[in-house]
Structure formats: C-alpha cells, structure tokens
Amino acid sequence: MRKLIVAGNWKMNGTRQLAADMVHALKETSLPTDVSVVVFPPSILVGSFVDCSGCKTGIQNINSEPSGAYTGELSASMVKEAGCSYVLVGHSERRSLFGEQDDLVAAKVKAAVGNGLMPVLCVGETLEQREAGDYLAVIKSQVVLGLSRLSIAELEKVTLAYEPVWAIGTGRTATPEQAQNVHASVREVLAEEYSRKVADEMSILYGGSVNAKSAGALFAQPDIDGGLVGGASLKVNEFLTICSAAADNV
C-alpha cells in the first residue's frame, strides 16, 4: 500500500518560534493514520521537530560520503542519529544552484537508504524542456538514474516527488491533469524498469505552488499521493488545511 504524504519543505526559511508553533499545531491535529506529515526544516531546526507526535522529520540535504573533511556537510548517519527519517534528494534548487547531477543524486539516495533514511527523490522539467515537448524523457531519466544504485528491495524506502521547475515558487501550479499525466507516466516507467508491484507501491508526491486552494484537486488524482509543499508550509494554518485535504482523499 502506498502512503499518502504531505511534506513541508521550509528551504532556508523559518525560525525557532515558527517551528514551535508548527509542532504545537501538528500535535493538536488528528489526521487519519494513512496520512503521514513530514517537515523538512533547515537542519539547525531539526531538533524542534524530532519529538513531535504529529509529524516525521526530514532533512533537506545530505552528503553522499560517510564522514570526512567536508566542512559544512552532514552525513546520512548523523542525520539518522539526530532523529530524522526522511531526506530530500535531487531538489531542483540543489540541481540548478549547487550543480548536483544525477550521479551524485544516485549516490545520495544510496547513502540515505544505507543508513536507514527514506529518500524523497525530486524530479521535474524546466519550462524550456516542457515547451520543447521532451519533458517525459527528462523526468524518466532523472527517475531511472536517481534510483540506479538501489536494489529492488531498497526501492520500497523511496518516495518520488514530481516538481516541475516552472511551478516552484511561481504561483503557477500544474493543473491536476498535467500533474496526473506525469505521475501516471512515472508509474509506467517504474513498472517497465522494475515491476508492477514497485510501481503500484511507490508514493509519488506533487510539488510546485501547492496551496490550500489547489491541494484538494491535486490530491484527488489517482496517481498523486500527496504533496511536497514549499511556501505554503511556512504558514501553520494553511499547511494544516493542506494536510486535511490529503485526509479527505484517504
């Protein structure tokens, strides 16, 4: 059974006060057990979330190496020890601003799984790639290369997130049909590359300007298993509304 997940990616935003408010609100909110909430705060705020009964905690990035002279970096085992369960890998901001390519993404996915973390592998096309019409091939290659170091058994630890770059932080959400189309194609890629079981069981989240208004119609799509929310996850009430929209689709 695939999980319905609402994840909040705070990026380089948020304060200890916001973290305390979010933790408090999530503890007070009762959601069906089939809905998982994950918050990815900046790493320095992870400690505020790890004991929260209403959500799981994620980290926004790891280094693929186990330890060593990598100033400023965190290894998967450190993140696990700090109480995180999830890690974002391959976010388009990491790809475009920090030059991360598919081989590094694959190494991070492997390091995550090898250390008991669940990677959320992010994929998605730029506006240019969408307009050129070859976006499904771009997304396919990001999925296949990103997962290339995992065994079949390890795939069950992975969540995918489709985040079209043109929809991130732009207020221009993909339509439910556009997103469903890509999610269904990604599921077909998983079935072809691995098996129908893998395809049916992997959660695929949608991200890109998800907000309280757009969440319901997106989450109602058959191949959309929740959302990876940026800006709207920094507003406590709006994030809770998005979580409730997922609960409505259990």
Ligand X SMILES: O=C(CO)COP(=O)(O)O
Query: Annotated binding site for substrate: which residue ranges?
Result: 9-11, 169, 209, 230-231
Nearest distance from C-beta of residue 153 to ligand X, angstroms: 27
Give the CB-nearest residue to ligand X: 230
Q: With beta carbons less than 8 A apart as the criterion, state whether 219 and 245 touch.
A: yes
Number of residues that bind ligand X (CB under 6 A): 14
3-state secondary structure of 142: helix
List the one residue from 14, 90, 164, 208 that touches ligand X (CB under 6 A): 208
What is the identity of the amino acid at 138? Answer: V
Q: In Å, how far are 88, 168, 195 from 56, measured between CA atoms?
A: 13, 23, 28
Instruction: Give the CA dihedral 232, 235, 238, 244, nearest 10 degrees.
Output: 90
β 204-207/118-123 pair status = unpaired
Site for ligand X in 88-147 (CB under 6 A): 91
List the one residue from 137, 169, 195, 250 that touches ligand X (CB under 6 A): 169
Interface mask (CB under 6 A) for ligand X, residues 218-237, using x and -? ----------xxxxx-----
Closest by Cα among 236, 183, 250 to 29: 236
Nearest to ligand X of 77, 244 (CB atom): 244
Residues annotated as catalytic are 91, 163
- Does residue 207 bind ligand X (CB under 6 A)? yes
Interface mask (CB under 6 A) for ligand X, residues 41-80, using x and -? ----------------------------------------
Q: How far is CA 106 from the centre of its chain?
A: 15
Cα separation of 107 and 123, whole Å? 15
- Does residue 209 bind ligand X (CB under 6 A)? yes
Handedness of CA 146, 152, 153, 159 (dihedral sign): positive
Nearest to ligand X of 123, 199 (CB atom): 123
Helix segments in 71-222, DSSP class H: 76-81, 92-97, 102-114, 127-132, 135-146, 176-193, 196-201, 215-219
- Does residue 4 bind ligand X (CB under 6 A)? no
Nearest distance from C-beta of residue 113 to ligand X, angstroms: 20
Nearest to ligand X of 54, 230 (CB atom): 230
Nearest distance from C-beta of residue 121 to ligand X, angstroms: 12
Contacts with ligand X by CB under 6 A lie at: 9, 91, 163, 168-169, 207-210, 228-232
